[in-house]
A and B are shown apart, each in its own frame.
Chain A
Amino acid sequence: MKRILAVAGKEIKEIWRVKLFLILAFVVPFIMFIVFGYGISLDIENMPFAYIDYDQSQLSAQLVEKFTSRFFDLKAELFSPEQADHLLTSGTLRAVLVIPPDFSKKIYKGDTADIQFLIDGGYPYRALTIKGYAEAIINAFRNELTEKRLEQAGLSRIFGRPIIRVETRYFFNESLKSSYALVPGLITIILLMNPAVLTALAIAREKEFGTIYNIYSTPIKKWEFLTGKIIPYLIISAINFLVVVAGTKFIFHIPMKGNVLNLIPGAFLYVLITVSIGLIVSAVTRTIVSAQIVTIIITVIPAFLYSGLLIPVTNLEGAARIMAHLYPSMYFMDIVKGVYLKNLGIVNLWHHIFFLMLYFVILFSLGIMVFKKKEG
């Protein structure tokens, strides 16, 4: 026990001395949290938009008015397709509505009126969202006109219309704000990357500077050394955890439905796991730089792809789905979302916690096995 504490104490002193390391430990995760927190908002609004109206009728003006909403920011009336092309190509506009010359005539006659809607495809997600908005606006406009026409014909009373009311209910996130799920989800990402990178650095540093030989020549046991080594990183991660949870509440104003205490056992195990990943990487690499690189490669990509942050695990197929189940992030993500959005307690989450525990035991043992107390 004394030896473990001695290693931990020495490690803390070393961390404290290197100011840049402190930046890496606390500032980088915080910046990441802020950047991604503001950055992964998927709500598309105020798209710069223009129209060409060849019809110049009351009806076409009405339609343009329908488009001017919080989704579209009307910039200008254009007069030629070349102008539209040019402004879309240069990225000034995101969409252009083109109303043909015979628009109102066709509508009143009952022929099909074609409207063109030109969308900038530079950012596909935005393009599809914009297309969806436009379709909804046109549908509403057509329904309105149909109602009017039926009323004129005196049919609105006697005719049963197949209008389907859709009652949409959002579970756990009643206003479907993307940030309510994404921002807490970042806890999973940050507690994966940061502890792993820091721990990998810690041992790689001893190797690169040769101080590891001091350890080889002492009677300290492998597990004692490694345990002592990871204690400071657990403390750093605990602080980061608190900072991110506080930031979620006070900076992004995300409500937490459950109790923060239910998050702690999972978070603790999860950090133990990610620290062990760092240990294993540093045991098999030789230099600081390669330890850093390998850790980033094996943590960043699964963190985003297989954790369920952006892509629901149920949407994955084949190998990707298996990967997601083999990687610890998915389980902790479920715990985080469960506590934040579903008000789940430990009782409901025990099998996730059990899996994380199992994962840790396997990884830490593996870490002890691959860490050689002798060179060669």
Chain B
Amino acid sequence: MRQLLKKELLHILRDKGLVIFILYAFTLDIYISAHGFALIPERVSISVYDEDNSPESRELIGRIEPPMFRKPGVVLDRHEIDRLLNESKTVLALIIPSDFQKDLYRDKASLQVLVDGTQSAAAYLSSAYLNFIIEQYSADLMKERLKFVEITGLPSIDLRSRIYFNPDANDRLFEGINEFFMVITLIGMILPAAVLIREKEYGTIEQILISPLNIRKLILMKIIAASAFLLAMIASSYELVLKVWLDFPLKGTVYEFILLSFVYSIATTGLSFIIASVAKRLSQIGMLTIVIFAPMLLLSGGWVPPEAFPDWLRKLTFFSPLKYFMDLGIGLLIRGAHIELLLPNLIRLFILGFILMGAGYMLYDRRILKVE
């Protein structure tokens, strides 16, 4: 038994292409995603045409600051603004008309904000934020003036927004962890499938089928070896890449996460069996994985909030193991939820995994093991 396990582990380690891919996925890929895949715009380019050039207009421009915006580029010609927008050289443009300062006392001040709609991903949040800066400025001016007026009981509300679990809304943390989950899913599907198919590809499966060795025991060893390798990779990536390299403030412990990953790996291994029964060669596994992975990704809620889905699509999310894994993983690592709180979803994930594993193994058994 132990010999078999050792042999299978060695097999995995000897497959250089696969090992390099797995190493890359669990290290650099996560790092790059954390640093590049930001949805929250940062340092958005903005150009300002200040026709007024008054203390008020300059004060307003001064409020446009990093991290959301880069320092506004001051433009001296109205046509220059159009050119910048046409060529997508700036995402936002603010135009302050010549009598802005005067109008502030005449109840009719206005500003123009021009947005490059072709860069909608960055434009959406940043233009809303610019509006907020302007409103805030207007409210501050109001307060200033009302100091000199005899009036009491003016309403004043202070909204204290507290973002739980991730107070700075750190996008890196989320994108890095999100990618970590994707990598676990992908490798969790590819690795067992690759291990299962190797004997078939080299034709050694026939030898085993006629040998006294129990084929089911061998399959079991293969799966254990693959899962052990996967869990070891997850644990090291968790400790070294997420915690040390990326310096993420993770809330859960590595043990809890490994437990969660283990339950999840039952589901992904089930999918692996399905892939291994259909694929003819190692190179086909990659393609099949993508075919299964893509809809899982859509239904996971990581990209688009399920709340915004149409109803029928929201119901389908209950069949995506990745959805439970994401909810549980984010619950554990970012929200810091206790394992008891996560238990209902963990049980659902386990049941789903059990069904997938049963279906996958039956298919594999029928198509591969019983052919002879």
Contact = CB atoms under 8 A, between A and B. Distances in A.
Interface of A: 20, 23-24, 27-28, 31-32, 35, 38-48, 73, 86, 88-91, 94, 107-129, 131-132, 134-136, 138-139, 141-142, 145-146, 149-150, 153, 155, 159-174, 176-178, 180-182, 201, 287-290, 292-293, 297, 301, 304-305, 308-312, 314-315, 317, 320, 334, 337, 341-342
A145 B142 CA distance: 14
B291 A314 contact: no
Interface string B68-104: 0010000000000000011011110000000000001
B220 interface: no
Interface of B: 17-18, 20-21, 24, 29, 32, 36-45, 70, 85-86, 88-91, 104-125, 127-129, 131-132, 134-135, 137-139, 141-142, 145, 149, 151-167, 169-171, 173-174, 279-284, 286-288, 290-291, 294-295, 297-298, 303-305, 307-308, 327, 330-331, 334-337, 341-342
Contacts of A110: 152-156
Contacts of B131: 136, 166, 168
Contacts of A73: 307
Contacts of B141: 162
29 contacts: A23-B291, A24-B287, A28-B294, A31-B291, A38-B298, A39-B298, A40-B304, A109-B152, A113-B156, A116-B162, A117-B160, A124-B163, A131-B169, A139-B135, A145-B155, A162-B145, A164-B104, A164-B134, A165-B110, A168-B127, A177-B120, A201-B283, A292-B286, A293-B21, A305-B32, A314-B91, A317-B43, A334-B88, A342-B118
B42 A42 contact: no
Nearest to A43: B308
Contacts of B138: 162-164
Contacts of B288: 20
Q: Which 8 A-B pairs have the closest CB atoms?
A: A173-B117, A121-B166, A162-B141, A145-B155, A124-B169, A288-B283, A39-B303, A305-B36
A253 to B, nearest CB: 15
Contacts of B118: 171-173, 181, 337, 341-342
Given A128-B169, A145-B155, A47 B335 contact: no
A142 B157 contact: yes
Contacts of B43: 315, 317
B88 A90 contact: no
Given A28-B290, A169-B115, A176-B115, A289 B164 contact: no
A170 B115 contact: yes
Contacts of A337: 88, 118
Interface centre among B41, B159, B341 (most CB of A within 10 A): B159
A313 B24 CA distance: 26
A35 B294 contact: yes
A246 B149 CA distance: 63
